[in-house]
Each structure stands twice: as structure tokens, then as C-alpha cells.
Chains A and B, each alone.
Chain A
């Protein structure tokens, strides 16, 4: 059903399928760099999938204002790649080495890419009034609505904590 929903948006022109040799080449470069940044037992750790890097390559080539990524590792790669090494070290109880040159090249290639998540998209939809039809008659209807939107997105795999949801609910207009 979700595939059909996506297909409909492609047919309507909301989503576009991109075929571009430059994007493909950059995707390959980003994948190689990212998957050779961190090492355990002198073996490079494959942390990202080519599909995830294709998103970033497209955003760079198309000079996009922002990229929407829920996937935590890809997001951290853009915003704070060193934290990936820290996380792996903590979770795997193993010394993680960083190839500083690869990391430098990766950061340079990714530049100042802006990231938003489905969470921010959900909040914007809420603030633009797209979900008004779901409001109940209760006094705290707006709070219930925004919480429901955010928890729905979290349950589907967006990397967001309960603390963050509580904070966003307080900040939502």
C-alpha cells in the first residue's frame, strides 16, 4: 500500500525519480569515504548503505535547501560524525579508530548540509493546519493532536526520544 501511495505521488509530480551520472559518482565516493572512516580490529566498519548516500549525493548535486533524513546514523554523519565513533565504542566495547583524512574529506564534501526529519515535517504540517480535521472537542485537543502526530512518527522508526517529543510539544504553536 505504501508503495502505491509513493507511486501516486510520483505520477502527480510531487516526487521525482532522479537519474544522474554525477549523483551516482558522488554517491559511490560518499559511500566509500563513510565506510572507511571508522575501524575496529583494523577492519573498516560499514556504517552506511549506498541508498542512504544517494540521498546526500542528490542533495549536494541539486543544491537542495535541506535533506529530510530520519535515519540516525546518516544524520549524525552530516552533523556530528565523531559521535558515531563514540557510540560504537560504547556499545561494542571495542576500541574504534578514526581515519582522520577520510573524515576530513567527508566533512568537506558534505559541507554545510541542513537536515530536517519527518518530525519537523510533522510539526510544520500541524502548524500549517493540515491536521485540524482531527481535532477533538477536548480542552487540550491541540496538545493531544501534536503528541499523536509525533508519537505516530516515532513508532514508525524516526529516531526521536520521548524527551524531545515533550520539548517539541511545549514549543509547538
Chain B
């Protein structure tokens, strides 16, 4: 049984995704993806996390397709609407199945896009992981929630400004003094 707040969040997100996809609005999808990750940070609910990854992946796919002047034909509106319906009914089993179909469709839609989409999906997991990390969740936990590799996540986080924004420079002198004592460095 999924918590009502989470159910409402997922249903609303999926319905908004359908509308944004109809308009090929990748910026809207990206904003929606960023918004749901804020909620996922506190809820850490696996269905919500998967929806966040789907929305982010779709935003990148639409964006790249537009940039390459290719025609967009992402016919996922029906599946997304079905997933929303099943979540509204609190039918986790059918929701799970529909989400699997959506992920499968994203992956198998176009052979040329397959590896790209897999890459985007993996990247999406890492980006989302870094957002969870920046919100205070440990690297290991963030990696576990998103099903991503802890080392890839750590490597990605290192290249962001997360540590700089936190600005923790306390006790630098003390740490070095202790380390010098420990390693007998005069």
C-alpha cells in the first residue's frame, strides 16, 4: 500500500508528464524532474524515484531529439496515463508492470537510441543520486536508492560544486595537526 501523499505526487507527476510530452516541452519536463527529486529526497519511496528517473530521461531524450532536428514520436502517453491510473487505484502490481513496460519502451524504442538511452538512464540515476547526497543522504545510501554504482556517484559528485556550496572549512588546522602526529611527520 503506497502512502496517499506519495500516490498523489506520482499521479500528478505522470499526468503532467503526459501533457508536457504532447507539447515536446523538454524544459518543462526537466523542471518537473527537478521538482519531484526534492520530494523524493524526503520520501525515498521507490515508485516515486523511478518516476523521477523516467521524467528526467524523457526530458533529455526530447531535448537531444530536438537539437538533432529529428522528429519526435514518443508515444508513451497511454502507458504513462495507465501508470497514473493504477497508482490512483493503489494497484502497485499493475503500476510496477506498467513502469517496466515504460522503461522497456524507452530502451527498445529505437535500436540506435538504445545505448544512448541506457546511458541517459544511468546518468539520470547518478544525477538524482548527487541531489540526494547534496540533501544530506550518504553516498552509499543514495547509490542504493537509485540503483547506481557508488564509485560512479562519488566521481560525479567530486566534479560538482556540492562541497563548495556547503563550505565546510572548520578544523583544517586541527585535522592536519592530528594527521602529522599520527604519521609522525615533523
Are B136 and A84 in contact, with the CB atoms below 8 A?
Answer: yes
A-B contact pairs, 23 of them (CB 8 A): A43-B42, A47-B137, A49-B143, A66-B182, A71-B138, A71-B139, A72-B139, A73-B133, A73-B139, A73-B141, A74-B138, A84-B136, A92-B41, A117-B175, A120-B175, A156-B158, A157-B156, A158-B158, A161-B164, A161-B167, A163-B164, A171-B176, A173-B185
B63 within 8 A of A: no
Count of chain B residues near A, Cβ 8 A: 42
Are A155 and B159 in contact, with the CB atoms below 8 A?
Answer: yes
Closest to A157 in B: B154
Are B169 and A114 in contact, with the CB atoms below 8 A?
Answer: no
Closest to B171 in A: A79
B135 within 8 A of A: yes
Are B168 and A164 in contact, with the CB atoms below 8 A?
Answer: yes
Are B180 and A73 in contact, with the CB atoms below 8 A?
Answer: no
Are B175 and A161 in contact, with the CB atoms below 8 A?
Answer: no
Are A91 and B135 in contact, with the CB atoms below 8 A?
Answer: yes
Q: Which of A2, A43, A47 contacts B43 (CB 8 A)?
A: A43
B111 within 8 A of A: no
- Report the minimal beta-carbon distance from A79 to chain B, rounded to whole angstroms: 8
Count of chain A residues near B, Cβ 8 A: 50
Residues of A within 8 A of B159 (CB): 155
Are B178 and A127 in contact, with the CB atoms below 8 A?
Answer: no
| 8 additional contacts (CB under 8 A) given A40-B42, A45-B44, A115-B175 | A41-B42, A43-B42, A49-B139, A73-B139, A73-B141, A127-B185, A158-B158, A171-B172
A residues lining the B interface (CB < 8 Å): 2, 40-41, 43, 45-49, 51-52, 65-66, 70-74, 84, 87-88, 91-94, 114-117, 120-121, 123-124, 127-128, 154-164, 167-168, 171, 173
**CA of A72 to CA of B170 in the docked complex: distance in angstroms?**
13
B residues lining the A interface (CB < 8 Å): 5, 38, 41-44, 133-141, 143-144, 151, 153-159, 162-164, 166-169, 172-173, 175-176, 178-180, 182-183, 185
Are B164 and A114 in contact, with the CB atoms below 8 A?
Answer: no
- Report the minimal beta-carbon distance from B125 to chain A, rounded to whole angstroms: 16
- Report the minimal beta-carbon distance from A45 to chain B, rounded to whole angstroms: 7
Closest to B141 in A: A49
Residues of B within 8 A of A52 (CB): 138, 140
Are B44 and A120 in contact, with the CB atoms below 8 A?
Answer: no
Are B158 and A157 in contact, with the CB atoms below 8 A?
Answer: yes
Residues of A within 8 A of B164 (CB): 161-163
- Report the minimal beta-carbon distance from A37 to chain B, rounded to whole angstroms: 11
- Report the minimal beta-carbon distance from A98 to chain B, rounded to whole angstroms: 13
- Report the minimal beta-carbon distance from B39 to chain A, rounded to whole angstroms: 9
- Report the minimal beta-carbon distance from A106 to chain B, rounded to whole angstroms: 14
Which 7 pairs between the two chains have the least Cβ-Cβ distance? A49-B140, A157-B154, A73-B138, A157-B158, A88-B136, A120-B179, A91-B135
**CA of A49 to CA of B42 in the docked complex: distance in angstroms?**
16
**CA of A41 to CA of B168 in the docked complex: distance in angstroms?**
28
Residues of A within 8 A of B41 (CB): 91-92
- Most A CB within 10 A of own CB, among B42, B166, B178: B42
Known: A87-B166, A163-B164. A168 touches B172 (CB 8 A): yes
